[in-house]
A and B are shown apart, each in its own frame.
Chain A
Amino acid sequence: MADGAVAHAHDHHHADLQHHFDTLEQQHEAATLGMWLFLVTEVLFFGGLFLAYMLYRVWYPEAWAAGSLELDITLGTINTAVLIGSSLTMALAVRAAQTGMQKATINWVLATMVLGLTFLVIKYFEYAEKVEHAHVPGWLGGGFDPSLPRPVELYFSLYFVMTGLHATHMVIGFGILSVIAWMAYKGRFTREWNTPVEISGLYWHFVDIVWIFLFPLLYLVDRAHGAGM
């Protein structure tokens, strides 16, 4: 293993260098490229739903406006602010990890988790309100409000699938950040090796960006007219 010996000479104290990589840099590049490619698949994954949304919105603009007016814009706006805030704390966590500030890394990751949790709690109350008003399609909520036009049920199908899938990603992100916080607490991240914080950050920002699209598409349809109604 001549190359292994050379690699060890350069990166002597790196227990985190896996055997099949030559350098930490190569390992880091592979990991970040992998995460970017994964996010590309995520774009396509959500993309199918955005396509369905686009088609049906063009077909049923009135139903889309009516459905959108049933959503709680105050909670939606607060959640948007919470998520953008969590992207800031996540970026600060990555920065702290890259500059070798362990304590700050832990704190910023925890702050991100708190904001993520806040988002999910608010989302829970929004969903609960939907169940109360019979806005859940299918048989799950005990039947959809018959007073609304039929395609509104289509709108709410997409609302629940899109926000539900987004919330699922938030839960997964919360789990990932728990591991990151624990690793940071154990002092695993150094100036030389902090790849997991960075790629978790990429994932978190992506989930945030999905919401940046979902919020106007779902909450702000025809809001200008609706406000006067």
Chain B
Amino acid sequence: MREALRQGPAERDKPVMDSTIASPQVTYLNHEHTLASWLLTKDHKRIGLLYMGVVTFAFFLGGIFATLIRMELATPAGDLVSADTYNKMFTMHGVAMVFFVLIPAVPAILGNFILPLMLGAKDVAFPKLNLLSWYIFVIGFLFTVYAMVTGGVDTGWTFYTPYSSQASNTNVMATGLGVFITGFASILTGLNFMVTIHRMRAPGLTWFRLPLFVWAVYATSLVQILGTPVIAITVLALAIERFLGFPIFDPANGGDPVLFQHMFWFYSHPAVYIMILPPMGAISEVIAAFSRKSIFGYSFVAFSSLAIAVFGFLVWAHHMFISGISVYAALVFSFLTYAVAIPSAVKTFNWAATMYKGAIWLKAPMIWAIAFLGLFLVGGLTGLFTASLGVDVHLHDTYFVVAHFHFIMVGGAIMGYFAGLHYWWPKITGRMYSDIWAKVAAVIVFVGFNLTFGPQFILGYLGMPRRYHVYPEEFQVLNVLSSAGASILALGYILIAIYLVASIIRGEAAGNNPWHATGLEWTTQSPPLPHNFAEQPVVTEEAYAYEKREVTVG
């Protein structure tokens, strides 16, 4: 059979095969075909794809709400939707995007798929738990979707009490339960990954030979394990107060609504690092691979992930500078917020230094990564504006804050997700997408994104508050620019979906290692075998030993 293939013209289209594998190629995708083989799979790769399905759906759902928001804001008057509907729109946009896109995107999709491959393991430590996590995630998502289709929720994704516990007459319970349930999926995934990294590494794969993506996922797991249970208990307490009438945060009985804010942000600020750390890991992989250089300051980048995870737990009250917290507490939290910028800056400088004098290969993943660098830089620096006590009084709850966190969440996390997705897509599907279209999409998204959120910095600085569906006429020009940018952004995202789907149908075979990259995931076939590797890989060198392999690329 193989001899026949070697001689036949079909050989060209076949991926390069490991000599121990007989063709036709057996992969994790084609070794079983039934629906049950997907829905009951314990294979981390298939589970990664299951997450991709739900997350992509949630992304478009959240996108629809964002579209409606931007359409309403195209004119100063509230002429498209009522104030109540608008409140529901931005709430459901936030809930869908935060809990069902940003948090699971990189760890649950790319992490699930790539992490065991990077470690040279056959699977994660607890494959059944991994599948269970997906089901918990889906059940949480269904609760939330149920809440959305049966009238929605209008508390903002922050669920501040006492509005959420007493005043709101929308589906707070169902949404809260959805968030509560989904939290456990996140906890169990973090736990699974952390044990996997500790106990499943291939022979020779020491901690300081780990790819930086693994360090990033490890730091993320730490945040998931320590932070997520706190949002779970907070939302549970809110549900008990709302449903059973127990006064926990209720000021009428001496309760403290600000306590809710503390508990909420104790998770929800570190949650930002759940969203951004794994994309940072993906960016480290992409920058090293396409600069053909070992990452500059490996251990600094590795430890900066841990530093972000740890310091990230000490800054939450910077969301509450005008909530009536003590000025001394505010001072400390402001200082610590500046401190947490240091490890992020370490990463950014190290990525830039990695590119410096590198042999930069401008393929699509690298374009996405470079876009990430620029947008993350703006997002990070504007975070320092809001971290400073005096300036925050002016900027708090304005569009400046909206623009800032979208630069981090979309410009950072989502761009990083797409950098990683484009980088590992050939491994996941065994197919190459159109490099040109991928670059075009990256540019469209970059331009659309800046046009959407750039004007919002100015709007916020001029004093336009967030979460209102009407605004004074003088803000219209900037709002129209922002809405126009949003439509360009939407176009970019749709384009990605088109060429990625097209690549599955008619893409060229990718081969084992289309980027000539280091890392164990590139040593197995694409798409990988059901159990990842034909033989147990053994690691003998550090990650990113690009200097040792000279390749000529187009």
- A interface residue numbers (CB < 8 A to B): 1-3, 18-20, 26, 29-30, 33-34, 37-38, 40-42, 44-49, 51-52, 55-56, 59-60, 63, 137-140, 150-151, 153-154, 157-158, 160-161
CA distance A104 to B67 in the complex (A): 65
Contact bitstring B189-226, A, C-beta under 8 A = 1, else 0: 00110111011100000000000000000000000011
How near does chain A come to B530, taking the closest CB pair, in angstroms?
Answer: 11
The 3 closest A-B pairs by CB, nearest first: A138-B245, A48-B233, A45-B229
Is the C-beta of B164 less than 8 angstroms from some C-beta in chain A? no
How near does chain A come to B125, taking the closest CB pair, in angstroms?
Answer: 4
How near does chain A come to B277, taking the closest CB pair, in angstroms?
Answer: 18
Contact pick for B191, options A26, A34, A138, CB 8 Å? A34
Do A37 and B191 touch across chains, with their CB atoms under 8 A apart?
A: yes
Size bracket of the B interface: 35 or more
CA distance A46 to B123 in the complex (A): 32
- Residues in chain B near residue A41, CB distance under 8 A: 187, 191, 225-226, 228-229
Contact segment of B57-65, B252-260, B393-401: B252-260
B interface SS class: helix
How near does chain B come to A136, taking the closest CB pair, in angstroms?
Answer: 9
CA distance A60 to B248 in the complex (A): 14
How near does chain B come to A83, taking the closest CB pair, in angstroms?
Answer: 22
- Residues in chain B near residue A59, CB distance under 8 A: 254, 256
Is the C-beta of B237 less than 8 angstroms from some C-beta in chain A? yes
- Residues in chain A near residue B126, CB distance under 8 A: 30, 34
- Residues in chain B near residue A40, CB distance under 8 A: 225-226
- Residues in chain B near residue A52, CB distance under 8 A: 237, 248, 259, 263
Do A33 and B198 touch across chains, with their CB atoms under 8 A apart?
A: yes
Which residue in chain B gives the minimum CB-CB distance to A29? B199
Do A46 and B225 touch across chains, with their CB atoms under 8 A apart?
A: no
Name 29 interchain pairs, CB-CB below 8 A, sorted by A: A2-B535, A18-B127, A20-B121, A20-B122, A26-B199, A30-B195, A30-B200, A33-B198, A34-B125, A34-B192, A34-B195, A40-B225, A44-B225, A44-B226, A44-B229, A45-B230, A48-B263, A49-B233, A55-B259, A56-B256, A59-B256, A60-B254, A137-B244, A140-B245, A150-B254, A153-B253, A157-B240, A157-B241, A161-B248
Which residue in chain A gives the minimum CB-CB distance to B258? A55
CA distance A137 to B246 in the complex (A): 5
Do A42 and B248 touch across chains, with their CB atoms under 8 A apart?
A: no
CA distance A38 to B189 in the complex (A): 11
- Residues in chain A near residue B127, CB distance under 8 A: 18, 20
Which residue in chain A gives the minimum CB-CB distance to B116? A20
- Residues in chain B near residue A137, CB distance under 8 A: 244-247
CA distance A161 to B200 in the complex (A): 39
CA distance A153 to B253 in the complex (A): 7
Is the C-beta of B308 less than 8 angstroms from some C-beta in chain A? no
- Residues in chain A near residue B246, CB distance under 8 A: 137-138, 140, 157, 160-161
- Residues in chain B near residue A139, CB distance under 8 A: 244-245
- Residues in chain B near residue A60, CB distance under 8 A: 254
Is the C-beta of B536 less than 8 angstroms from some C-beta in chain A? yes
- Residues in chain A near residue B259, CB distance under 8 A: 51-52, 55
Contact pick for B125, options A19, A30, A48, A55, CB 8 Å? A30
For chain B, residues 255 to 275, give those with C-beta under 8 angstroms from any C-beta of chain A.
Answer: 255-256, 259, 262-263, 266
CA distance A18 to B123 in the complex (A): 11
Is the C-beta of B95 less than 8 angstroms from some C-beta in chain A? no
- Residues in chain A near residue B531, CB distance under 8 A: 1, 19-20
For chain B, residues 303 to 336, give those with C-beta under 8 angstroms from any C-beta of chain A.
Answer: none
Given contacts A150-B253, A157-B248, A161-B237, contact A42 B225 (CB under 8 A): no
Is the C-beta of B232 less than 8 angstroms from some C-beta in chain A? yes
How near does chain B come to A179, taking the closest CB pair, in angstroms?
Answer: 14
- Residues in chain A near residue B232, CB distance under 8 A: 45
Do B199 and A153 touch across chains, with their CB atoms under 8 A apart?
A: no
Is the C-beta of B144 less than 8 angstroms from some C-beta in chain A? no
CA distance A48 to B232 in the complex (A): 9
CA distance A101 to B420 in the complex (A): 52
Which residue in chain A gives the minimum CB-CB distance to B250? A154
Is the C-beta of B234 less than 8 angstroms from some C-beta in chain A? yes
CA distance A47 to B263 in the complex (A): 10
- Residues in chain A near residue B536, CB distance under 8 A: 2-3
CA distance A55 to B258 in the complex (A): 11
- Residues in chain A near residue B241, CB distance under 8 A: 157
Highest count of chain A CB atoms <10 Å: which of B129, B195, B198: B195
Given contacts A48-B233, A48-B237, A48-B263, contact A33 B195 (CB under 8 A): yes
Contact bitstring B123-161, A, C-beta under 8 A = 1, else 0: 111110100000000000000000000000000000000
For chain B, residues 90 to 135, give those with C-beta under 8 angstroms from any C-beta of chain A.
Answer: 121-127, 129
CA distance A160 to B254 in the complex (A): 17
CA distance A20 to B116 in the complex (A): 11
Do B191 and A157 touch across chains, with their CB atoms under 8 A apart?
A: no
CA distance A162 to B237 in the complex (A): 10
Beyond A29-B199, A160-B246, 19 extra complex contacts between A and B, CB < 8 Å:
A2-B536, A3-B535, A19-B531, A20-B200, A26-B200, A30-B196, A37-B194, A41-B225, A41-B228, A45-B233, A48-B229, A48-B234, A51-B262, A56-B256, A63-B254, A137-B244, A151-B253, A158-B248, A161-B246
